[in-house]
Amino acid sequence: MKSFGVEIPFVHHLGFTLQRMEGGESELHYEAQPEHLNSFAVTHGGASMTLLDVTMATAARSDTPDMGVVTIEMKTSFMQPARGPLVAKGRLIHRTATMAFTEGTVYDAQGKVCCHATGTFKYVRRLPVDGRNVNDLKVISTD
């Protein structure tokens, strides 16, 4: 299993695993636990959206892994229920010095598309997190 390069507690809690992060592309795997399901016994849409968000962010970071990204906006479309082990693939479509434009798709165990998203991310410089002020992210201003 590859490392995201940083500890992300929520991602660890959900159990996402990073399979690929290079060349503007990413791939994550996820198998929803019972507490991650909705009332129809399929992966909750919020968990699917989180998977897409992380997949797209990872694709955005793939060519500058020392930088962080924060989500600016995200649009998600759900095509069918997400059942069984899921595979999410992300792609960096375009980037500027400060922004990344991405897309991501989640596939079910049969390879069928469950949901798709586009997202815009802002590149940020990572600062040490020591518990004093986790909101102290410096935004890169090279515009």
Quick one: 92 exposed, middle or buried, by C-beta within 10 A (0-12, 13-18, 19+)? buried
Answer whether residue 4 is part of any domain: no
**What is the pTM (predicted TM-score) of this model?**
0.87
Answer whether residue 2 is part of any domain: no
SS3 5: coil
Answer whether residue 19 is part of any domain: yes
Answer whether residue 3 is part of any domain: no
Answer whether residue 116 is part of any domain: yes
Q: What is the pLDDT of residue 88?
A: 98
Domain residues for the domain of 37 are: 9-139
Cβ-contact 56, 69 below 8 angstroms? no
What CA–CA distance (Å, rounded) separates 35 from 41?
Answer: 10
Q: How much is the mean pLDDT over the chain?
A: 89
Q: Count of domains in the chain?
A: 1
The model's confidence at residue 128, banded by pLDDT at 50, 70 and 90, is: low
What CA–CA distance (Å, rounded) separates 41 from 82?
Answer: 10
Q: Both tokens of residue 58?
A: 């990872």
Answer whether residue 68 is part of any domain: yes
Look up the CATH number of the domain holding residue 122: 3.10.129.10
Answer whether residue 31 is part of any domain: yes
Answer whether residue 20 is part of any domain: yes
Q: What is the pLDDT of residue 121?
A: 98
